[in-house]
Amino acid sequence: MARMIDVAVVDDDRMLLDGMRAWLGQVPELRLVATAATVAELLATGPATPPDIVLLDLLLRDGSTPGDNIRRLLRTGSRVLVISTVPDRTRVIEALRAGADGYLTKDNDLPTLVAAVQDVVAGHGAHSPELAFACAHDDSPAAPRLSPRERQILLDYASGMTLKSAARRAGITVHTAKDYLDRVKAKYQQAGRPAYTKIDLARRVREDSLDAG
């Protein structure tokens, strides 16, 4: 039996919040534990135990910025799935770089939302069409260009493999695999997005959707 996933929703559209209550009430494995119009309100009045995931509206009327909202929620231990009315490419990338685990537009159906929530909570990230499009067309310097071998070593290592196992799978020595991984870290450092640990590297994989294709 799948464990219950606790969900909170932050959105200043009351009709959407009512709709979310009705929608999520149909899904036995999801439990809506809080709704709020702002992140500040959720943190002040929400449950004592942070929800597994927060569905966060991208633009709120309180003047808060998406990046700040995402980072505040991440500090509580919750994962964040951004929801928006439009698939704005720039905003999608900005949300991912702030630490969001996925981005969905509000015209998606309930099964798509449920699948995205489950993927995010499982640590896989939510790979929506709007997210894939934004990443595929992102040519900013903050998205380092990795060679196929650098990408392979990064994906294997960040997924939980030891460097020795990643090297064996790639058919190279551990020393060579370390060289590739050091190059990856250097490229992220140069892009202003340092990744010092395996956890950092796993987050970069999710942010840049490197495991989506």
pLDDT (mean) for 147-166: 89
Q: What is the mean pLDDT of the chain?
A: 85
Is residue 103 domain-shared with residue 190, that is, in the same domain?
A: no
Same domain, 121 and 178: no
DSSP string, the chain: -PPPEEEEEE-S-HHHHHHHHHHHTT-TTEEEEEEESSHHHHHHHS-SSPPSEEEEESS-TTS--HHHHHHHHHHHT-EEEEEESS--HHHHHHHHHHT-SEEEETTS-HHHHHHHHHHHHTTS-B--HHHHHHHHT--STTS----HHHHHHHHHHHTT--HHHHHHHHTS-HHHHHHHHHHHHHHHHHTT----SHHHHHHHHHHTTGGG-
Is 50's pLDDT higher than 90? yes
Q: How many domains does the chain have?
A: 2
For 94-142, write each residue's pLDDT tens digit. Answer: 787 788 888 888 888 899 899 989 988 887 666 666 655 555 555 555 6
Q: Are residues 132 and 152 in the same domain?
A: no
Is 17 inside any structural domain? yes
Q: What residue numbers bound the domain in which 193 lies?
A: 148-212
pLDDT of residue 195: 85
Q: Is the pLDDT of residue 158 over 60?
A: yes
Share of the chain above pLDDT 90, in %: 37
Is it the case that residue 28 has pLDDT exceeding 70? yes
- Considering the domain boundaries, does residue 171 fall inside one? yes
Q: 130 and 159 share a domain?
A: no
Task: State what percent of residues in the chain have pLDDT above 70.
Answer: 87
* Token pair listed for 3: 């464990």
Its pTM stands at: 0.65
Given 91, 106, 136, the domain boundary residue is 136
CATH number at residue 105: 3.40.50.2300
Residue 175 lies in a domain: yes
- Please tell me the predicted confidence (pLDDT) of residue 132: 57
At residue 31 the predicted structure's pLDDT band, cuts being 50, 70 and 90, is: very high
Instruction: Give yes or no: residues 112 and 166 share one domain.
Output: no
Residue 142 domain-assigned (yes or no): no
Q: Is residue 115 part of a domain?
A: yes
Asked whether the beta carbons of 12 and 56 are under 8 A apart, the reply is: no
Residues 152, 199: one domain? yes
Q: Are residue 180 and residue 112 in the same domain, yes or no?
A: no
